[in-house]
Amino acid sequence: METRVAINVLRDRLKKLEIFRHLSESETALLLENLHYKELRKGNILYREGCYLNKVILLFDGVVKQKKCGSKGKELIIRFAKGGEILGFRSFLTEELACATAEVMEDVKVAYIEGSCLTQLMKSNSNFSMIMMKHVCGELSATQTFILNVAQKTVRERVAEGLVQLKEVFDVDDDCNLKIPLSRRDLANVVGTVPESVIRMLADFKKENLIEVNGRRIRLMNIQKLTRIGSVAM
């Protein structure tokens, strides 16, 4: 499934990403040498929870879900990554085993980057280092907020918030349909519940005219109210 891509096309792509935009020519060149381009289809696994990572994955395009497997086999989706984001950096850096499995949700274009190369760049370019640091800090912040949600909100609140958050991450089309079609199971795994409960909530929201459901297409009709429900301002 590997695809040939001209090196200057890759260079252009790198230059467009916030993370790598500020690298010098020689640094970009170094990156390009240590980079392995690939295209993968839905369902493929980029890496598995428990694996050792010596590469970091740069996502040019597509969507990846990072899921963690709970003790009873129930999975929890801890993050969706889309174009421009990086995967596996934390595991690589701390040299811990990957704490999540990364699975392709929408066909992706990725680059596997040699971890040592990133380390080198961070050591030599303190600005780049800072950018990466901020990245990780941002993720930490999001994760800590996420905890409060799962810990204290009801399923109703979490589903409402989940929908709004999906809108933030993946945007909606002109009709306010979520651009990413998720199975009920995935949606359940995002908000930490079971598919049945998600279905009931969606049915409720439909009755309340907050959403319209058409299979996996969900149209957000009253984002404000959904947000309110999700933030428990009710």
Partner DNA sequence: CGAACATTTGATACTATTCAAGAAAGGTGG
Partner DNA sequence: CCACCTTTCTTGAATAGTATCAAATGTTCG
Binding at 7: pick from a second copy, DNA, none (beta carbon under 5-8 Å per type): none
What track of x and - describes contact with a second copy for positions 23 through 62 (by CB under 8 A)? ----------------------------------------
Binding at 27: pick from a second copy, DNA, none (beta carbon under 5-8 Å per type): none
Q: Could you tell me the smallest distance in angstroms from the CB atom of residue 73 to DNA?
A: 10
Q: Does 183 bind a second copy (CB under 8 A)?
A: no
Selected from 3, 8, 26, 71, the binder of a second copy by CB under 8 A is 71
| Neighbouring residues of 171: CB distance < 8 A, sequence distance ≥ 6 | 179
The DSSP-derived string for the chain is ------HHHHHHHHHHSTTTTT--HHHHHHHHHTEEEEEE-TT-EEE-TT---SEEEEEEEEEEEEEEE-TTS-EEEEEEEETT-EESHHHHHHTPPPSSEEEEEEEEEEEEEEHHHHHHHHHH-HHHHHHHHHHHHHHHHHHHHHHHHHHH--HHHHHHHHHHHHHHHH-B-TT-BBSS---HHHHHHHHTS-HHHHHHHHHHHHHTTSEEEETTEEEES-HHHHHHHHHT--
Nearer to a second copy, 3 or 144 (CB): 144
What track of x and - describes contact with a second copy for positions 202 through 231 (by CB under 8 A)? -----------------------------x
Binding at 224: pick from DNA, a second copy, none (beta carbon under 5-8 Å per type): none
Q: Could you tell me the smallest distance in angstroms from the CB atom of residue 142 to a second copy?
A: 10
Q: Could you tell me the smallest distance in angstroms from the CB atom of residue 114 to a second copy?
A: 17
Q: Which residues bind DNA (CB under 7 A)?
A: 72, 154-157, 183-185, 192-197, 199-200, 202-203, 213, 215-216
CB 20 within 8 A of CB 34: no
Compute, in degrees rounded to 10, the torsion defined by CA atoms 30, 123, 25, 89: 60
Selected from 150, 175, 209, 224, the binder of a second copy by CB under 8 A is 150
| Backbone torsions φ then ψ of 225, nearest 5 degrees | -65, -40
Nearer to DNA, 120 or 197 (CB): 197
Size of site (CB under 8 A) for a second copy:
45
Q: Could you tell me the smallest distance in angstroms from the CB atom of residue 92 to a second copy?
A: 9
Q: What angle do CA 114, 115, 117 make, to 5 degrees?
A: 70
Residues forming contacts to a second copy in the complex (CB under 8 A) are 68, 70-72, 74, 76, 78, 89-91, 93-94, 96, 99-100, 119, 122-124, 126, 129-130, 132-134, 136-141, 143-148, 150-153, 192, 231-233
